[in-house]
Structure 1
Amino acid sequence: MKKFTFFFISTILSIQFVAAQSVKSYSTAQAHSHNDYERARPFEEAYEQQFGSVEADVFLVDDSLFVAHNLKDIRPGRTFTTLYLLPILQKTEKNNGSIYPQDNVPLQLLIDLKTEGEATLAALIKVLEPHKKILAPAGSIRIVVSGNVPDASSFEKYPNFIYFDGRPENVYTPAQMGHIGLISQAFQHYSKWNGEGPMLEKDKKKIQKMINDMHDLGKKVRIWATPDNINSWKTMMTLGVDYLNTDKVPQLGDYLRTAPR
Structure 2
Amino acid sequence: MQGLEVRGLKKSFGGLTVAENIDFDLPPGARKALIGPNGAGKTTFANLVTGKLTPSSGAIRFDGVDIGNLGEAERVKRGIAKTFQITTLFRTLTVRENIRLPILERLGRGGRIFGRAAGDPSVEAEIEALLDQFALMSLADRPIHLLAYGQQRLVELALTLALRPRVVILDEPAAGVPSSESHLILQAIERLPAELAVLIIEHDMDLVFRVARSIVVLVNGRILMEGSPQEISGDPRVRQLYLGEAHHG
The verdict on a shared fold, with TM-score over 0.5 as the criterion, is: no
Quick check: which has more Rg, 1 or 2?
Answer: 1
Given the two structures, how large is their TM-score scaled by the length of structure 1?
0.33
Which structure shows the higher strand fraction?
A: 2
Higher relative contact order (CA 8 A, sep 6+): 2
Which structure shows the higher helix fraction?
A: 1
Given the two structures, how large is their TM-score scaled by the length of structure 2?
0.34
